[in-house]
Structure 1
Amino acid sequence: MLRSAFNDNWQARPKVNPFAELSGVSVPFQPVTVPHDAMIGQERVVPVESTGAEGGAGAYFPGGAFEYRKTFHVPEELLGRRILFEFEGVYRDATVHINGDYAGQRPYGYSQFHIDADRFLRFGEDNEIRVVARSHHDSRWYTGAGIYRDTWMLVGPLARIAPEGVQVTTPEIEAELAVAEVTTRVENDSIAIRTLDLVTEVRDADGTVVATDATRITVLPGEPATARQRLYVPDPSLWSPDAPDLYTAVVTLKDADGQVDAESVTFGIRSLRLDPRRGLRINGESVKLRGACIHHDNGPLGAATFARAEERRVRLLKDAGFNAIRMSHHPASKAMLDSCDRLGMLVVDEAFDMWTSAKSDFDYSLNFPEWWERDIEAMVAKDVNHPSVIMYSIGNEIPETGSPVGAAQGRALAEKVRSLDSTRYVTNGINGMLAVMSDLAAMRQQAGQRVDEGEGINTLMADPGAAMNAISSSELVTQRTAESFGVLDVAGMNYAESRYALDRELFPNRVIVGTETFPTRIDGNWKLVKEHAHVIGDFTWTGWDYLGEVGIGRPQYLTAETPRPAFMAPYPYLVAGCGDIDITGHRRPASYYREIVFGLRDQPYLAVQQPQHHGKTFAATPWAWSDTVAGWTWPGFEDAPVTVEVYSDADEVELLVNGRSLGRQPVGEGHRFRTAFETTYQPGELEAIAYRGGEPAGRISLRSATGPVQLRAEADRPTVAAHGGDLVYVTLALTDADGTLHAAADRMVNLDVTGAGTLLAFGSADPCTEERFDAKDRRTYQGRAIAVIRPTGVGEIRITATAPCCDVAQTTVRAT
C-alpha cells in the first residue's frame, strides 16, 4: 500500500465534556505536529502529600483525557481504493472517530494499530478524524499522553499486500550462500478471484539486486493468501553488532496491466544459537550482552518519538559501551528498532509490565484478558524483520509468576510468541521477591527481621540489594518460579544474581540473563557473567535516565530525621536519577566506570565528590551512584576537604594535585576498579596516573575553569533533513576561554530560534526543578543545557543564545 505521512496539521486540547460546550467552545484547540506528547506541556501538580509515590511515578505530571482532530481532503479518484490509518502509538486507551462515527480503538498505549477508514470517508470532500487518548494513574513511570508516535495514511487497491504483510527470515546461512525466505500475505477485498504475479528482489546495501524470484498467487475474495519464496543470496554479508550489514526485500504484486502494489522491508542475515555451555552465539560467535534498560521517553521531548531522537539515544548508548538494550517495559518504537538495525544494537523487546495483577489503579491489567493476544501480534509483526531483535520478553516483574495460574498464563504468552515467530528467543523479567510477595512477611519474620505495619514494596526496594538477592535464592522462590522459568528459552532475572551459580547446579539446562540489575553492582555482576557460560548478559537499571519514578537514584545522606533512604523523592523532583547517561545525553561518571568494568576503556577516569557533602553519611538506594562530578572547579571551597574517586583496571593509580603527588593506591578488579583519595580543593590541575607492572599505563586530568564565563552553542550536525522526523540538538555550555566547563557558574540562558526551524524543547539534567521544557529560558545544570529544534522546511536555522554576563552565542544549521 502507498504510505504517506499523516503527522501534519493536527490540533490538540484537553478533552472537554460536549455538553459543556453547548454554550461555546470552552477549551480551544492548539495546532500541533505529531509525534506529540500532550502531557509534557501540562503544569505539574504539587501533591497534598509531597512524598507520595503516586504522583512521583509520573514525575508529578497530571493525567487526563486529550483530544486530537485533523481535517484532510480525500480525492474522489480514491473511491474504490482501500484506505487505512496507521497509528504507531497512542497513549492510552485511544478511541478514533471519522466524520463523527466510531472507527476503532486500542487500549494499550504501546501497540501499533490500523483503522479501516474508507467506509467512513466522504470522497471529493474534506473529512475529519478525531482521536481521544486517556492517561490516569496507569503506570509506574512517565508515559506521556496522546499521539506520541508517527501516524500514516495507507492507500491501496482491493487486491494488495497486507500492512506488515512481508516477513523475511534467514533459516540457512553458509559462507557462500544464505537462504532468505520471504513470506508475503496478500488480501483481496474484491468480489472476484484474482490471480497475480509476485516478484521479489533482494538488494544489498548499495541497491544491487543479488537475488530474485517470481511466483503466481491466486487470492479468493475475502480470503487472504500467503506466498512463500526461497531466495538464495550469494556470499552474504552477515549482520552483527560490529558489522550491521542490511539487505532490502522489494516485493511487487502485478497483473496483466502492470504493477498492482509493492512493499519493501529491510532485514539482516544473521543466525542465533543458544545453549548453557556456549551461551548466546550470533553467527557462531559467543556474545555477552552488555545491556541497558531504557524507558521510552526522550527527556526534554517527553514521550514524543522522533526518529532522530531514537537514533541519537542508540548511538550514545553504543558509544558508552552497551551492545544491547531492553525496552522497559513495553514494545519499542519502529524508529528505535530501525536505529538499532543500522547501528548494531541488540534488542530485547518487552510486551507488558503487568498481566492481570494491577500495579497502578487504572493500568493495562483492566484490558489484558481481552487484548493481550492482539498486542502480542502487533509487537511481533513490528519486530519480525529487524535483525537487532534477538529476544521477546513477555513481561516484567509479574507477581503472578509465583503461582500455577500465572505460570499457565506465561506459557500461553510464550507459545503465542513462538507461533508468530520461532526464530527468536522468549524471556520474562522475573523478580523472585515479587513472585512470593504474599509470603514475604512470613519469610522475614522467620529470618528474624522486623516487619513494620503497612510496609510496602517501595520501602522494601529501598533496603540494600542483598535482601532481594537473599529472597530470590530461597527454596520458596526456587519452587514457586520453576514453571514460570521453565516456559522460557532464557530465564530473565531481576536483581537475582545470587541465583546464577545456584541454578547451574539446580537447573543445568537453564540459560540466564540479568534482565534488570543494580548499577552499583556491575563489577560483581559482570564477573559472574564472564565466569558462567549459561549467563549471557547483564541489563543495568538504567542506561539512560528517564522522567518519573522520581529520585530513586538520587544521592541521599542520613540524618536524625531521615535514618534510612527513601525510595522516591518529593516534588519538584523530575527524573529517576539512575541512568548512566542523563536525560540530555551527557555521560555521568558511572558510565565511564562501567566502560572500564566491561574492559572497553584502558584509561583511568576521575570523578570528584561534591565538597558540600563531605563528611556526611551517604546511604542511598542501590540504584544510586556516588554524588560525583567530573570537574575540578569548586569556588567557595578552597582548602576544604574533598574526596576524589579514580576508576581504573590497572594495578594502582597515583593522584597529583598541581603536580604534588598524594601517593599511589591499589585499584583494578580486586578493588572493584575504584579507589578514593582524600585531599583539599586547590584550584589548578588534578591528575591521575595508572600503573601496570610498575610502569605508567594511562593518565587523565581535570583543570579548573578560570577567567570570565563564556556561553557556547554547538549544534550536533551542520546539516539536517528538512522533513522525516529529523532534529537538531544544540548544546549550551558555560566555559572559560580554553573550553573548560564552568560547572559551578550556572545561570539562565535565553534561546531564540529563527529561520527554517522551531524550538521543540529546552532543558537540562537538573533532577529537581520546576522549570518547563517548552520555555525559551532555562537555567543550566552543572554548566550545561540542551535545546532540541525541529526543522520546518528547507533553509537556514539560526540559533541565538544569551546569558547574564556572557557574550551572545550563535550557531547555524542548514535544513535540506
Structure 2
Amino acid sequence: MLKYFPIIVFFLFINCLTTQAQVTNTREHISLDANWYFAFGHPYEPQKDFYNGTSYFSYLSKTGYGDGAAAPGFDDRYWRKLNLPHDWAVEQKFDKNASLSHGFNAVGRNFPNTSVGWYRKTIHIPTTDLGRKISIAFDGVSRNSIVWVNGHYLGTEPSGYHSFNYDITDYVNYGGENVIAVRADVTMEEGWFYEGAGIYRHVWLNKTNPLHVATNGTFVSTLLENDKAKIQALVTVKNDGLKDENFEVKQEVLNAEGKVLGTVKIEKLKINSLELKDFSSTISLKNPVLWSLENPYLHQLVTTISQNGKLIDVYKTTFGIRTIRFDADEGFFLNGKHIKIKGTNNHQDHAGLGVALPDELQYYRIGLLKAMGSNAYRCSHNPPTPELLDACDRLGMLVIDETRLMGTTDLHLNDLKRLMLRDRNHPSIISWSVGNEEWNIEGNITGARVAKTIQAFAKTIDTTRAITAAVSGGIGNGISTTIDMLGYNYIATKNTDEQHQKFPQQLSWGTEEGSTVATRGIYVDDLEKHYLAAYDKKQNDNFLSLENGWKHYASRAYLAGMFIWTGFDYRGEPTPFGWPSVVSYFGMLDLCGFPKDNNWYLKSWWTDEPTLHILPHWNWKGKEGKTFDVWVYSNCDEVELFLNSKSLGKKTMEKNGHLEWKVNYAPGNLKAVGFKNGKKTLTDAVNTTEQAAVIVAKQDKILVENSKVAVVTISVADKKGLNVPTANNNLSFELSGPGKIIGVGNGDPTSLAPEKFLEKIETFPIHSLKEKIVDNMAVVDGIAANYNDQQWKPAFKDERNASFAERAKALIYRGTVDLPEIPKGAKVTFFYKCVGPQQSIYMNGVKLAGNLAQNKKGYEYIIDEKLIKVGKNTVAVIATPFVKQNSWDSFNTDLGLFQIYTPAPQWKRNLFNGLAQVIVEATGEEGEIKLQTNSAGLKSSTLLLQIKK
C-alpha cells in the first residue's frame, strides 16, 4: 500500500481547490505536459533538421513563416509520442568521446545526431477564449530553445534553467487547432555538470482577462512585532487591453485551513492601456502561526481584481510568515531563534531519470536530506524547478537560490530579475546567490565591480534576503571585498578568522565544504575499478575532510554554517577519475538516494536523534586475520565494540567526531553498543552473511496519496533474512497493471548499463521518386515491383500549372524504400502523404488503397511483414495532379515514409553493493500495479501497489 506524508497530502488538496477556483473564475493554469511528439533534428544538416529555416522567407524574415518542423502542417505522425517532463540525454548510450563533465552521455558537439531535439503538440483553444490573454509558459528547456506557435516565431531562450513565457494571444486559431513547436539544441554546454536535454520541466497554458495580475506579479513580505505580523502585499497589475480601466483590488490572507484571517481593499484605481502598475497594502494579523523548520506552516494571499462588482481576476500566492536575520558575529536567525546552517549543494539529476524528475521526486530527495539532518539546500549552480522550492517550503528546508551566470549586462541582470520575481514568495529562500567560483574575475577589480553592481541591482528587487557569492580562490580582494555575504568554497586554503577580522561587518558562511569522495559500500580502494573507500578522508591538501570542515564551522559563531559538496551524487565530474566513471563521488547519498556512511556522521551531529552506525560491512571471505579499519559514527557519550561477543574496548566520543578501531577479520558478528549517561541506549551490528537467497522489494515511504510515482528499493537477503551488502546480482523486472517503469539505477559510479529501456523508432524515407503521365487513374502499367522505370522523369520537376493539368490527367509516381530485416515483434507503418486530389497506393505491386481523396493529415497503413523485402521495396502511387492557382502556391511532393516500431525490451538492472532502485509511474487508471523482480537462482519478489483515482 502507498504511504503518505500528511503535509504533501495537504498540498495536493490545496492544489485541487485552486484548480477548481481557477476554472470557475477568469484565470486558468492548464498543464500541457501530455501528448507531445518528439524527434531528433540536427545542428547543421538541414535535411536532418526537417529543412527548418531553409524557405525563401525564413521565420526570421517574415512573421508566421515557420517552416519544416515549425510549420503548422508538418507531418509529425511518425515521431515518438511522450509526456513531459522529458530528458533525452539520459536515454543515450555512454561514450568515451562524450563530455566528461556531463557524464559521458552521447550528446554534444561530437554527437550531432542526438544534440538537437524537436517537440510538437497540438492544442484546441475554444472560440470563447477570444478576448482573453493567452500565453504559454515553460519552466525550463535544455538548451537554447526556439518556440513557434502556428508557425509564428516567439523567441529564443539560451539558458536551460530559466523559466520563460510567451504571449500568443494574437497568434491563436480560436475554435481550432494550434500547433506548438519547440527546438532545443544542446550542442554547446551551459554548465560543467550533467544538464540533460529537452523539455525537462513543466509547460503551461495560461489564460487571463486583459486586465490581470502580471506573471509573478505579487510579493509578500512579513514583519513581526511581538504577537503581531504585518503582511506587506505588493501586487503588479497589467492592462493588456487597448483602453484605460478603472478597478479595485482586494487582498485576503488565508491560513492553511482556508480561513480568512485578514482583508484589505484598494478602491478607485486606474490603469492606462498597455500599462504595468504596482499597488501595495498592509494586512495585520494577531498571533500568526509562523513558518519554521519544524512546522513549515503556509498561508495564502488571494488577490482579486474587480470592476463594478464583477470579478476580473483571482491570483493566489503561497507564502510563509517568518523573519530571517544574518549577523556578522552570531550567524543566522529564523524567527529570532539562532539556527546553524547545515546545508548541502545539489544538482538536479537522479538515477534513471536524468533531470526530468516527477514532482514527487523533489519531495523524496528533500525528505532524504532532512532525515540526514540537513536544514538548508543550495541550488548549484542554477535556478531550480519551481516544484523543488515548493517541496522546500512544505517540508521545511532553507534555500540559497542561485542565478546561472554572473555579470552586469542587461542579459545577466534580466536573468537574475526573472529568477527573483519568480521565486521571491518562497519562505524557504533565505539568500540570493549572484555568482559561483568566477575564477576569471573573483580576485581582481573587475570582480569587485561586477559583484557590487549585481548586488545593488538585486536589492532593487528584494531587500529582505542576504546577497551572497561563492569564492573558491583567494580572499581579501575582488569579490570578497564587496559582497555582503561571503561564501567560502573550501577553506583549507583560506583563513576565515583573518577575513572576519579584516571585514568585521561582512556576513559569511561556507557555500561549499567537505568535498570528500567515496563509493557506497566500498571499504578498500580499488583504483583499477574506480572505487573509493567510503571513509571520510580529504581528497588532497586543497580540501578538508567532512569532519574537519564541520568542526571548523561549528566552532565559529560568526560563520552562519556550511553547505556540503554534495548531498547527492550527480552525473559528470567523476573526480578523481575519468572514463569509464560517469557519476561523481562527492555525495552523502548516491545517485539513487541510498546513503553512504558519511550520511550517519552528519546525522550524529546534525540531529538530536540518537544515532549509532558501524562500518564497514563484515563480509570478507578469504581475508581472515586481515586488519580492517572499523569506524563508528554516533552521538552517544561512549561506544563499546564487540566481535563475536568479545569486547574490543570502550571509547569516549569526541563532539563532532567519530571513533576508530583496528580489527582483525573473523566471520561472525561485529557489534557496537552506545552509552548515554552511563546507560546502554543503542546497538548497531554488521554480520557475515551467507549467499543471497531471496529478493526483497520495498516501497519507499515518500509516496503521497494519489501519487503517480513509487520509488522501490530492491535488495537481497540470505536464507536467515540478513541483507547481503556485497550482492551484485543481475535483476529483471516485469510490471503489470496501470503503471510503467520510468527509470532504474543502483548508484554505481562506473556503470555503463542503460537506465532507460525504451521503444525503438526507425524511419525510412521513400527516395528516387520518378513520375510518368498516364491517361487516367485506371492505368496499372508501372505498379509492379520489378517494373523498369529507367526512362521515367524525376518527379515534380514540371511546373504544376493549368497547361500541365491539360496534358496530365493522371500520373504514376514510383519510389524506393530500403528496409532492413524486421525485428521480432516490431510493427511497420507506412505514413502516406497525399500527392494529389485522388490517389491509389501500391507496395511491391500489391494494392494498399484505392481512390483515396486528399486528406491533409494523410493516411496510415500497417504493413504485413510478408509484403516486405529486405533491401529495396517499391512504392507506386497513381494520382490526379495538384494544380497551382497562383504562382506562389506550394503542395506536397513527398510520398511519406515507413516507420519500424520495436517495443521496449525488458527492464533490467544489477544490484550494486546490495541495492538497486526502480521508479514506477502510474498511468492514470485506478487499479493494482504488480512489480515482479527476478534473478537467476534467487526467490522472486512481487510488490503490489494500489492506485486510486
Give TM class, smaller chain.
0.7 to 0.9
Instruction: Return 319-328 or 591-600, whichever deviates more.
Output: 591-600
In the TM superposition, what is the alpha-carbon distance from 1:713 to its structure 2 partner? 1.5
Three-state SS of the structure 2 residue aligned to 1:340 is: helix
Name the residue aligned to 1:391.
431
- Give 2:697's aligned residue: 713
Q: Secondary structure at the match of 2:491?
A: coil
- Deviation readout 1:301-339 (Å, 9 max, x if unpaired): 101132111111111100001000111111121111101
State yes or no: 1:415 paired with 2:415: no
Deviation at 1:121, TM superposition (A): 1.9
| Contact in 1 for aligned 2:651/2:659 (Cα 8 Å) | no
Could you say if the C-alpha distance between residues 42 and 85 of structure 1 is closer, same or farther in structure 2, counting changes exceeding 3 Å?
A: same
Question: What is the alpha-carbon distance in structure 1 between the residues aligned to residue 279 and residue 637 of structure 2?
Answer: 61
Q: Deviations over 1:120-166 (max 9, x none)?
A: 22112112111111223422100001111111100111111111112
Following superposition, the deviation at residue 25 of structure 1 comes to 8.7
Structure 2 counterpart of 1:570, one-letter code: W
CA distance in 1, matches of 2:742, 2:452: 44
Q: CA deviation at 1:668?
A: 2.1
Deviation at 1:774, TM superposition (A): 0.7
SS in 1 for 2:89: coil
Deviates further, 712-721 or 531-540: 712-721
Question: Matches of 1:513 and 1:704 in 2, distance apart?
Answer: 43
Matched, 1:502 2:553: no
Moved more, 142-151 or 502-511: 502-511
What are the residue-to-residue correspondences of 1:563-602 with 2, within 5 Å?
567-571=576-580, 573-598=581-606, 600-602=608-610
Secondary structure at the aligned position of 1:313 is classed as helix
Alignment counterpart, residue 271 of structure 1, candidates 323, 331, 334? 323
Distance change in 2, residues 1:294/1:708 (3 Å): closer
**What SS does structure 1 have at the residue aligned with 2:352?**
helix
1:7-47 superposed Cα distances (whole Å, 9 cap, x missing partner): 00112222234434579999952111111111110122122
| Structure 2 alignment gaps of length 5 or more | 1-26, 52-67, 69-73, 109-114, 517-544, 758-906
Show the counterpart of 1:617.
Answer: none
Partner of 2:658: 673
- Give the letter for the 2:143 counterpart: R
What amino acid is aligned across from residue 80 of structure 2 in structure 1?
Answer: Q
**Which residue in the other structure is 1:741 paired with?**
723
Partner of 1:624: none
- Out of 798, 801, 804, the position equivalent to 2:930 is 798
What's the counterpart of residue 148 of structure 1?
A: 200
Q: Which residue of 2 aligns with 1:177?
A: 228
Q: Give the whole-Å Cα distance in 1 for the aligned partners of 2:735 and 2:169.
A: 41
Residues in 1 aligned to 2:183 and 2:38: alpha-carbon distance in whole angstroms = 10
- The structure 2 residue matched to 1:251, chosen from 293, 300, 303, is 303
Give the whole-Å Cα distance in 1 for the aligned partners of 2:169 and 2:603: 53
Aligned partner (choices 352, 356, 366) of residue 300 of structure 1:
352
The 8 Å contact of residues 103 and 583 in structure 2, kept in 1 or not, is answered as no
The aligned amino acid for 2:472 is N
Distance 1:719 1:798, change over 3 A: farther
Quote the offset at 1:641 in angstroms: 4.0
Offset at 1:650? 4.9
Q: In the alignment, does 2:806 pair up with 1:756?
A: no
Q: CA RMSD in A?
A: 2.4
Residues of 2 paired with 1:669 and 1:340: CA distance?
A: 29
Question: 1:269, 1:603 → 2: CA distance?
Answer: 33
Q: 1:708 to 1:223 in 2, by over 3 A?
A: closer
Structure 1 residue 397: deviation in Å?
A: 0.2
Aligned-residue offset at 1:751: 1.2
Cα offset for 1:349? 0.9
Who is 1:36 aligned against?
A: 86
519-528 vs 770-779, which deviates more? 519-528
* Matches for 1:452-601 after TM superposition, within 5 Å: 472=474, 477-478=475-476, 480-481=477-478, 484-496=479-491, 498-520=494-516, 521-550=545-574, 552=575, 567-571=576-580, 573-598=581-606, 600-601=608-609
- What does residue 364 of structure 2 align with? 312
Aligned counterparts of 1:129 and 1:636: Cα–Cα separation in 2: 63
Alignment of 1:35-434 (within 5 A): 35-47=85-97, 54-63=99-108, 64-138=115-189, 139-170=191-222, 172-216=223-267, 217-256=269-308, 258-352=310-404, 354-355=405-406, 369-399=409-439, 400-432=441-473
Structure-2 change in CA distance of 1:167 and 1:599 (3 Å)? closer
Equivalenced residue count is 710
Identity %: 28
Give the deviation of 1:688 after TM superposition.
1.3
C-alpha displacement at 1:599, in angstroms?
5.7
Distance between the aligned counterparts of 2:620 and 2:117, measured in 1? 46
Cα distance in 1 for partners of 2:366, 2:232 equals 29
Q: Is the 8 Å Cα contact of residues 96 and 579 (structure 2) preserved in structure 1? A: no
Give 1 or 2: higher helix fraction.
1
Q: 2:611 aligns with which of 600, 603, 621?
A: 603
What is the Cα deviation at residue 60 of structure 1? 4.0
Partner of 2:553, secondary structure, is helix
Say which SS state the counterpart of residue 294 (structure 2) adopts: coil
Distance 1:310 1:212, change over 3 A: same
Could you tell me which amino acid in structure 2 is paired with residue 528 of structure 1? Answer: H
The offset of 1:62, in angstroms, is 1.9
In the TM superposition, what are the counterparts of 1:774-785 in structure 2 within 5 Å?
774-775=756-757, 776-785=907-916
Query: In structure 2, what is the Cα distance between the partners aligned to 1:646 and 1:753?
Result: 40
Whole-angstrom CA distance in 2 between matches of 1:804 and 1:720: 33
- Partner of 1:401, secondary structure, is coil
Take 2:664 and 2:83, find their aligned partners in 1: how far apart are those partners? 53
Paired with 1:10 and 1:224, the residues of 2 have a C-alpha distance of: 34
Q: Separation in 1 of the partners of 2:224 and 2:748?
A: 49
Report SS of the residue matched to 2:121: strand
Distance 1:143 1:532, change over 3 A: same
Report the structure number with the largest CA radius of gyration. Answer: 2
Aligned residue type for 1:110 = Y
2:932 counterpart letter in structure 1: T
TM-score normalised by length of structure 2: 0.72
Contact 1:647-1:675 within 8 A present in 2 as well: no
Cα contact 1:218–1:225 (8 A) shared by 2? no
Which residue number in structure 2 is paired with residue 656 of structure 1?
642
Assess if the C-alpha contact under 8 Å between 1:648 and 1:668 holds in 2.
no
SS at match of 2:313: strand
1:402 is paired with a residue of what secondary structure?
A: coil
Task: Provide the residue aligned with 1:442 in structure 2.
Answer: none
**Structure 1 alignment gaps of length 5 or more:** 49-53, 357-367, 433-471, 553-566, 609-630
C-alpha contact (below 8 Å) 2:331/2:560 kept by paired residues? yes
1:766 alignment partner AA: D
CA-CA distance at 1:695 after TM superposition: 5.7
Match of 2:861 in 1: none
Q: Take 2:138 and 2:702, find their aligned partners in 1: how far apart are those partners?
A: 32
Aligned residues of 2:137 and 2:166 also touching (Cα < 8 A): yes
Shift of 1:692: 6.2
Q: Secondary structure at the match of 2:387?
A: helix
* Cα deviations by residue, 1:545-564 (Å, 9 ceiling, x for unpaired): 111112x2xxxxxxxxxxxx
DSSP 3-state at the match of 2:252? strand
Contact kept, 8 Å, 2:630 with 2:661, in 1: the verdict is yes
Amino acid at match of 1:275: D
Q: C-alpha distance in 1, partners of 2:921/2:235? A: 37
What code does the residue aligned with 1:715 have? Answer: Q
| Contact kept in structure 2, 1:72 and 1:128, CA below 8 Å | yes
**More displaced, 802-811 or 702-711?**
702-711
Task: Assess if the C-alpha contact under 8 Å between 1:721 and 1:791 holds in 2.
Answer: no
